[in-house]
Structure 1
Amino acid sequence: MHLRQAGSTKLVFPQSYGPALEGIIVNTAGGITGGDAFTLDVTAKTDTRLTLTTQAAERAYRAQIGEVSRVTTHLTVETGARLNWLPQELILFDRCALRRRLSIDVAIGAQLLMVEPIAFGRAAMSENLHHIQFRDRIRVMRDSKPLYLDGMDITGDAAAHMARAATANGAGAMASLVFIAPDAASQLGTLRKMLPSTAGASLIAEDVLVMRHLAADGFELRRTLIPILDHLTNNSLPISWRL
Structure 2
Amino acid sequence: MKHQLKNSKGTYIAIIIITLWMVSIVILMKTNLSFTNPLLYIFVLIQMHLYTGLFITAHDAMHGTIAPKNPKLNIALGQICTALYALFPLKNLHSKHHQHHDFVHTKNDPDYHEGNFFVWYFNFIKQYITWWQILAMAIIYNILKIYIPEKNLVLFWVLPSLLSTLQLFYFGTYLPHKGEHQNKYQSKTQDKNHIWAFFSCYFFGYHYEHHDSPGTPWWRLWQVKEQSINTKNG
Output the TM-score relative to the length of structure 1. Answer: 0.27
Bigger strand share: 1
Question: More relative contact order in 1 or in 2 (CA 8 Å, sep 6+)?
Answer: 2
